[in-house]
Amino acid sequence: MESIIDVEITGHVALITMVDREKKNQLSERLIVALTDTLSQLGSNSDVSVIVLCGYDNYFCCGGDVNEIANRVSQRQAVFNKECVFELVLNCKLPIISAMQGHALGAGLALGLYCDFIFMAEQSIYSANFMKYDFTPGFGSTYILPKKMGYTLGHEMLYGAKNYYGLELKQRGAGVNVVDKENVLDDAMKFAGNLAKSSRHALITLKSGLNRDLEAELSQAIDNELHMHEQTLYKQSVASKISLPL
227 is catalytic: no
Condensed to tens digits (0 to 9), the pLDDT of residues 91-128 reads 899 999 999 999 999 999 999 999 999 999 999 999 99
0.85 exceeded by pTM: yes
Residues 154, 145 contacting (CB under 8 angstroms): yes
- Residue 243: per-residue pLDDT: 65
Residues 95, 195 contacting (CB under 8 angstroms): yes
Rounded to a whole number, what is the distance in angstroms from the first to the last CA of the chain? 26
Condensed to tens digits (0 to 9), the pLDDT of residues 74-84 reads 888 888 887 88
- Residue 27: per-residue pLDDT: 94
The 3-state secondary structure of 181-232, one letter per residue: HHHHHHHHHHHHHHHCCCCHHHHHHHHHHHCCCHHHHHHHHHHHHHHHHHHH
Residues 27, 65 contacting (CB under 8 angstroms): yes
| From 12, 155, 201, 229, the catalytic residue | 229
- Residue 11: per-residue pLDDT: 97
For 33, 43, 77, 138, 164, the CA distances from 148, given in Å and listed in that order, are 25, 24, 29, 16, 15
Q: What angle do CA 104, 219, 53 make, to 5 degrees?
A: 30
Positions of the chain with pLDDT lower than 70, given as ranges: 1, 243-246
Calpha distance 92→78 (Å, rounded): 25
The domains located in the chain, with CATH, are 5-182 (3.90.226.10)
Beta strands in 32-116, from DSSP E residues, in sequence order: 50-54, 59-62, 96-100, 103-105
